[in-house]
Amino acid sequence: MKLYFNIPKKLYPFYKIELDNATKLLHDGKLQECWRHYERAHIIGQRYPLQHSYVHWQMLKFGIKIKSTKEVLGQITRLIFGGVKSFVGTVPVGNTGGANVPPLKPMEIPDDLKLIIETNT
C-alpha cells in the first residue's frame, strides 16, 4: 500500500488553476461552470489528503450557497472520509466528488486531466 502525503510540486499549479477558475466563476454567478472546475480540481487532488479535503470543503460551501441539502450532506460525509482514503491510497480514481455520483465509484478521467496527472506525478 502506498501512502500519499503532498501533491507533487509540478501537479499543484494545475490543481490551483482549477480552483481559481471555480472561484472566479462562482463570483460571476456561473454556477454550472464553477462546479465543473471543482470536479476537475477534485480529480487532480483526490490522491492527496489536504487537497482532496479542501476541494470537498469548497464543494460543501457551494452546496450551502445553492441551498442543496443533498450536496451539503454528501460533502460532510466526503469531508469525514475522503482525506483518510487519500492518505492510504484507496480513492475511486476519476470520481468527480459531488453528491450526484456514488462516493466510491471510479470514473473515467478526462483525457486532458489524464495527461496532466501522468506527466506531473
In a domain, 62, yes or no: yes
The residue range of the domain holding 100 is 12-116
Model pLDDT, residue 83: 72
Model pLDDT, residue 1: 53
Helices (H), 1-121: 12-27, 31-45, 49-65, 69-87, 111-120
Mean pLDDT (the chain, rounded) = 92
| CA nearest to 87, candidates 44, 51, 41, 118 | 51
In a domain, 4, yes or no: no
In a domain, 121, yes or no: no
pLDDT in tens, 18-52: 999 999 999 999 999 999 999 999 999 999 989 99
In a domain, 6, yes or no: no
In a domain, 67, yes or no: yes
Give mean pLDDT, residues 63-90.
Answer: 87
In a domain, 31, yes or no: yes
Q: Which amino acid is at 69?
A: T
Number of structural domains found in the chain: 1
Within 8 A by CB and 6+ apart from 35, the residues are 22, 62, 98
In a domain, 3, yes or no: no
Model pLDDT, residue 2: 61
